[in-house]
Amino acid sequence: MTYNELGNTNKDVQVLWGELCNGNKQALAELFDCFFDSMYAYGYRIVGREGEIKDAIQEVFFQLWKYRESLNEVYSVRSYLFVSLRRQLLKDKSAKSRQEDINKKYISEQFEPRFNQAKWRQILDLDESKSSDLKKAMGELTPRQKEVIYLKYYEGLTSDELSEVMGLRTQSVYNLVFDAIKCLQSHLDT
């Protein structure tokens, strides 16, 4: 069962979260099944290595089970899991590379999502002849703009969830999305 199969409602997921906190192993398994695909897709954009992503996802759920009694109610289970996966992947990356401040550097310099041009032509109301222009315009986005666009339009995160996942204020998220769209449009109008 995926998040969409749950009717895209936070209520069903919140119930599973509560059951997990109360020690229900089946709830943990259902949450894993529900979010694995989305977490894997997001993780792939960060590290791009299947084994590391799967290990990180398993570690996130292992930690949930291990600390289930001290877990609190969360606003959004999905954003909590995305934050946890991101932290785990960055922690793993940091342990391997031993570089100072690797988390900020990695996210800001290497986040390169793959964009579906057909979807973006539709969002920006472009005809097919603008495909090559769109590809060039996408290349002009900053890594943070690419990340926010991916999470908002491909994963469907709300502004509050984006704020939590990216560690930004909600207004900063709005500004980042606005600037990214504005950048795309300005490159397409030339």
Give the residue extent of every domain in the chain.
Answer: 4-107, 113-189
E-assigned strand segments in the chain: none
Give the C-alpha distances (Å, rounded to integers) separating 50 from 45, 108, 109, 177, 183. 11, 21, 20, 29, 32
Q: What is the DSSP letter of 141?
A: S
Q: Which CATH architecture has domain 113-189?
A: Orthogonal Bundle (1.10)
Tell me if the pTM is above 0.75: no
Question: Along the 190 residues of the chain, how does pLDDT read in single tens digits?
Answer: 444 444 444 568 999 999 999 999 999 999 999 999 999 999 999 888 888 999 999 999 999 999 999 888 888 999 999 999 999 998 877 666 654 454 455 554 455 555 566 666 666 666 666 666 777 777 888 888 888 888 888 888 999 999 889 888 889 999 999 998 888 888 777 5
Q: Which CATH architecture has domain 4-107?
A: Orthogonal Bundle (1.10)
Render the burial of 6-36: b for 16+ CB within 10 Å, e for the rest: beeebebbeebbebbbeeeeebbebbbebbb
